[in-house]
Chain A
Amino acid sequence: MIVFEILIPVLIVSSIGAGLALILLLSERWIAYYGPCEITINEEKKITVEGGKSLLSTLQEQKIFIPSACGGRGTCGVCKLKVLEGGGAVLPTETPFLSSEEREGRVRLSCQVKVRNDLVIEIPKALFEVREFRGRCEKIEDLTYDMKRFRFALQEPETIEFTAGQYIQLLCPVYKGNSEEVYRAYSIASDPEDRAAVELIIRRVPKGICTTWCFEYLKEGDAVRFNGPYGDFRLSEREMPMLFVAGGSGMAPFVSILHQMRHRGDARSAHYYFGGNSVRDLCLDESMREFEKDLQNFTFIPVVASPEEESDWQGERGLVTEAVGRAFDDLSGHEGYLCGSPGMIDAAVKVFTSLGMQEEHIYFDKFA
C-alpha cells in the first residue's frame, strides 16, 4: 500500500510534466507557426518568406545582406533599416541604438524584428548589390609587428565589383575561443581592377574575436567567406585638392583609392599623412613611393610620434594631426579623407575645420 501511495503521486506529477511538454511541442509546431509572410522592399520588390525568424536572417536567406557585426545578437546596432509597416513595437534591446529621429523615421534593428506577418521595409538600394563570396586565403603577409595583409582569392562568385573605399564583412568561424560565427567589417585594401581577389589589412586587437582567428588560426589555403561590398566612403567627383589622414589599419582604404587614382590617371593634388606611434608602426613605404612616381601630384608623408632612440628617423615627428597643422595655413579649398580611430578622426576634424575646411568636404571611415 505504501508503494502505491508513493507511486501514484509520482505518476500523476510525471504525467502532468509529460502533458505540458507535449503542449509546448505542439505550440511550437502550430501556434508559433507564422506561415508565409510577404516582405515588400522599397515599394518595388516583393518576396514571400517563411515567418518565424529575424528579419536580418530572413533577408540573408534571400541573399539580401544587411551589414551586421554581431551576428544578429542585438549588440552592435549596425543592422538598421526602415520597417514602415508590420514591425510591431520597438524592443528594449533596440532603444540604446536608435536616436529619437531614427525612431520617428521607423528605423529598426533588423536582427530584433521577427517576421510574424507581412512587412513593408526600406533598405538602401546599394544593398541589392551585396553578394556572399567564398574564397581561399591565398597569401598572408606581415606588414608590421601587429598588422598583416590577407589576400583572399575568390572562388564563388569568381569576381567582385567594388569602389575603392568600400568594405566587406568577413565571417569569423567557430574556433577554440569563439563559440559562434560572427562577421567583422574590414576595408578593402586592394586594387578595384583586381577583381579576382580582395586584400585586407588587419591590425591585431588583444582578445578580439575575429583578429585572433585571422592571426592565430587562419592559414594560407584555408577557405574563407565574406559578404559585401558595403559603404559610402569613396573619392568625391570634385576637383579639389585632397588631404588623406590615417593611422594603423586605416591605411587599407587609401591603398585601394590610390590604385583607383592610378588607373584613372588622376592628377588631383593629394597629400597622404600616415601616422604611427613609432617607426615600427609604419608600413607599405615602398608601395607609397611607387604611387608617388605614378601619380603626378601625390605625396606620402609618414609621421612618427615617438621614434625609437636607435632609429635614424629623419621624417616628420609628432602627432599626425600636428604635422598637418604645421604644413597648411589654409584648407578652405581642400577636401579631407580620414580613416582611423575615433580619437584620431575627432582630432583631425578639429584641425581641418580650424584651418577653414568645410565640414561637408570632410569624409571619414571611423573604426566602430
Chain B
Amino acid sequence: MKHSPDDQKLERMLRSSKLVADGFMGTDGRGVREIIEADAATLANLGVTAEQTAGRMRELTLAARPALGNWIEAEGKYRLRSEEHKGSLVCPWPHAGRYEKRLTTCRRLDSGEDIVWTDLNIHLIEAHGFFEGKGSYFRLEPDVLVRILFA
C-alpha cells in the first residue's frame, strides 16, 4: 500500500510518544490506513457503523459521569465507571481536538466482560474510524466493542 506524505507524517505522530506514552500504534506493524480499513471491514460485517459505535460509547460515558468516578448500574446490563484524571488528551490528526482525560469502564453484568475507553477513543472512532493499533494500551477490538455495546 502506498502512503502519501501526509499519511507518513500522521503515522510518525501515531507511533511517537508525543501525545501519549508509547503512542497509539502499539506493536502493530501495519500502516494506519490498513488498520482503519481492516477495522472498518470488521464493523461492516457486524452491521454497525463507526458513528453508531462512537455514539453508543458517548451515551454510556454520559450515563456514568454523574457518579463522579464510582460504579453505577445502567440499562439493567452494565456496570459503568467514568474516572477523570489530571490533564487532557489531544487528537493526533492534524486538526484541533482536545479531550478531557476521562476513562470510562464498561462491564457487562451477564458476562463480566469489560472494556475501557477514553473520550479521545470516542473521537478517534467517530471522526477517523481509528481503533488504535494492536498492542496499544487503548486499542479497542471492534468485535469485542460491538458485542459489549450492542448485544
Interface size on B, residues (CB 8 A): 31
Contacts of B19 in A (CB 8 A): 75
Known: A178-B17, A184-B87, A341-B84. A205 touches B69 (CB 8 A): no
Known: A178-B17, A178-B21, A367-B84. A341 touches B137 (CB 8 A): no
Interface segment, one of A149-157, A206-214, A225-233: A206-214
Instruction: Name the distance in Å between B108's Cβ and chain A's nearest Cβ.
Output: 19
Bound CA span A350–B82, Å: 19
Bound CA span A185–B101, Å: 14
Decide if A341 touches B69 in the complex (CB within 8 Å).
Answer: yes
Contacts of A22 in B (CB 8 A): none
- Count A/B pairs, Cβ under 8 Å: 97
Bound CA span A180–B84, Å: 25
Decide if A209 touches B68 in the complex (CB within 8 Å).
Answer: no
Decide if A343 touches B85 in the complex (CB within 8 Å).
Answer: no
Decide if A205 touches B85 in the complex (CB within 8 Å).
Answer: yes
In the complex, per-residue mask of A288-328: 1 if CB is within 8 Å of any chain B CB, else 0: 00000000000000000110000000000001110000000
> Which B residues fall within an 8 A CB radius of A?
16-22, 65-71, 82-88, 90, 96-98, 100-101, 103, 116, 137-138
Q: List 11 A-B contacts (CB under 8 A).
A: A73-B18, A75-B98, A208-B21, A247-B68, A305-B67, A319-B67, A321-B68, A341-B68, A341-B69, A344-B69, A367-B86
What 4 A-B pairs are tightest by C-beta distance, nearest first? Answer: A96-B96, A341-B84, A367-B86, A75-B90
> Which A residues fall within an 8 A CB radius of B?
69-70, 73, 75-77, 93, 95-97, 177-180, 184-185, 203, 205-209, 212, 247, 249, 275, 277, 305-306, 319-321, 341-344, 347, 367-368
